[in-house]
A and B are shown apart, each in its own frame.
Chain A
Amino acid sequence: MGNYLIKLRDVEVRYNNRNGGLVAITGINLTVSPGEVVGIVGRSGCGKTTLLKVIAGLVKPTRGEVIYNGSQDGGGFRGIGMLFQSPLLLPWRTVLRNILLPIELRGEDLDKYVGRALELMERMGLKGFEDSYPWELSGGMQQRVALCRALIHRPSLLLLDEPFGSLDAITREEMWVLLQGAISYENYTTILVTHDIREAVLLSDRVIVMGGRPGRIKAEIPIPFRRPRSLELQYSREFNDYIAEIRGLLGD
């Protein structure tokens, strides 16, 4: 495995709270290759968000290490794009200015990215809403704006934490198509945390199944279907075999 973007070696995270320490995740070994889409499923509280935060550098591992390839050798690690369950848009900014926020924070020239922002918006079906305010949009539209914001700076790594958890089933399927389109179009390395096994299998090259207390990796299931995949794949026999296998691993 010479070619990797990010590698976690024996990572443990212990949170210190009032009643002593709590080991959220332990013994995590994970290597993510460039351009790979990795799905992470696991039951509530098993440390998925914690794992994502360690990868994002928001939480320091209490043991082990996280290695970013490209950050040391100056190979142009273009940062992280993040998307959470709630869109977290700034209500005082227009949609366009929300999307450009990461560029602003990086101190780059905004004008250079307006064209890209408009193009992303068009691909996400948001054309014409650049001067609207987030609160004038529906929940699904807000989440698409947040996705544009996560992609605007062409991040080296896209981290998604239950990004579509609050959307209805139909809107969620629409978002799968849009997300998959964006990922394949610019070949994003992606880590997708989700409660939805279907979502994980449909979008990922590999699904990591986590078990809880403390959180650890139970299994890694490669999903060999060629990307991009159509929504109809969900109804195929093979697809549902994967669903059943992962459902079995998650236990009762």
Chain B
Amino acid sequence: MPYRVRSASSVLALLVVCTVWELAVRLLNVPRYILPAPSAIALTIVKYRDHLLLNLFDTLLTSTLGLALAAVFSLALSTVLAYSSSIREAIYPLLSGFNAIPRAALVPLLALWFGLGMVPRVLTAFLIAFFPILVPTLTAMVTIEKELWEMLVAFGATKAQILTKVAIPRATPYFLSSLHMGLTSAIVGSVIAEMVASDRGIGYVILSSTSRLDTPLAFSCLLLLALTTFAISKTLGLIERRVVRWAYRAGL
């Protein structure tokens, strides 16, 4: 489908969903604190925009910091692990073991160690985001075709050269696309940390508003969070297409 038709049809679908939702809430007389109508959510966003934007900014700040940390750390670690198979064999099981710990359960500990400031929120975002970035990046680095590897060695390449000239460029598209997954994970991390150990951020607003049965405010939070995540993800996608155009050569 051409792009215009496609986006027009998704806008249409969205309108249909909102209309059905609005009508259902009104006709069935669903109380606001159970399910607010789209119009009520929109009004709430307008009414509390300053409060919401401030907290949204806070969440985005901690989650993008966490994501940036996770990206840098994953790239560095996968380079080291790709370089040395003995380090990889020693460390990788530990990492997978760590990944098996539900990171949300760590938030109280992080708060205990680092207080209620930004640090535990950034750390939670980082801890949840880094594994989904590490795995595809590392896999791409260590799965160079045998023949290519042998050809490079025959040309006199050192291991470090193979890493910098082949493994890292080869892993770049995987790394960049894993940032989408990393982004949503980081936001989940920040929001969880805000709910457990913070007095700010979208997670905190959701928690406090639902405890006051202010459901429209909670929905406003969800909507804003979804919209911004979507926008960041789109931006990442644009960068990706620019940087690694060669990886999309089949034009899919």
Residues on A facing B (Cβ under 8 Å): 53, 56-58, 79-80, 82, 84, 86, 88, 90-92, 101-102, 104-106, 133, 135, 159
Contact = CB atoms under 8 A, between A and B. Distances in A.
B249 A91 contact: yes
Nearest to A149: B155
A91 B155 contact: no
Given A91-B246, A91-B249, A80 B155 contact: yes
Contacts of A90: 165-166, 169
B150 A133 contact: no
Nearest to A88: B148
Contacts of B151: 82, 84, 88
A224 B170 CA distance: 46
Given A92-B247, A102-B155, A135-B249, 20 more contacts: A53-B150, A56-B150, A56-B154, A58-B153, A80-B154, A80-B155, A82-B155, A84-B147, A86-B147, A88-B145, A88-B148, A90-B165, A91-B246, A91-B247, A92-B169, A92-B172, A105-B152, A105-B161, A133-B249, A135-B246
Interface string B153-179: 111110001000110011010000000
B244 interface: yes
Nearest to A155: B155
A80 B156 CA distance: 8
Contacts of B147: 84, 86, 88
Contacts of A57: 154
Contacts of A80: 154-155
A101 B154 CA distance: 12
17 contacts: A58-B153, A79-B155, A80-B155, A82-B154, A88-B148, A90-B169, A91-B246, A91-B249, A92-B172, A92-B244, A92-B246, A102-B156, A105-B152, A105-B157, A105-B161, A106-B156, A135-B246
Nearest to B244: A92
Of B165, B172, B246, B247, the most chain A CB neighbours within 10 A belong to B246
B155 A105 contact: yes
Contacts of A88: 145, 147-148, 151
Nearest to A58: B150
